[in-house]
């Protein structure tokens, strides 16, 4: 299961880094770095897919797992966006006050 989810995240990261690289001018030195990261993420995704296929002993089973996690990820992102737009859940921003003393933090945790 972890291989399928990690594969999905790595494959998505590959596309994200490639997209960022394409947004830069060809002369920008950051572009080649982003392309290298995208290629690396692609290799990670391929390795994880291969390991998943070997573990499940069938490519169709592995692909079904990958598709299930792609769908779960899309549903989770969609839910977060909807809750943010519709106000279904309130995100509490961090307080920017003076941090509590260590003793206070310990007593709160207990």
| Mean pLDDT score of the chain | 83
Domain boundaries, the chain: 2-91
Res. 18 pLDDT band, cuts 50 70 90:
very high
Does the pLDDT value for residue 107 go beyond 90? no
Residues whose CB is less than 8 angstroms from the CB of residue 81 and which lie 6 or more positions away in sequence, other chains included? none
């Amino acid at each position: 299961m972890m291989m399928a989810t990690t594969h999905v995240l790595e494959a998505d990261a590959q596309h994200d880094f490639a997209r960022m690289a394409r947004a830069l001018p060809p002369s920008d030195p950051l572009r080649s770095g982003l392309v290298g990261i995208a290629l690396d993420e692609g290799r990670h995704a391929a390795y994880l897919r291969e390991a998943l296929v070997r573990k499940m002993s069938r490519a169709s089973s592995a692909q079904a797992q990958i598709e299930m996690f792609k769908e779960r990820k899309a549903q989770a992102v969609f839910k977060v966006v909807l809750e943010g737009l519709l106000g279904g859940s309130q995100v509490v921003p961090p307080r920017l006050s003076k941090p509590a003393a260590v003793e206070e933090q310990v007593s709160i945790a207990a």
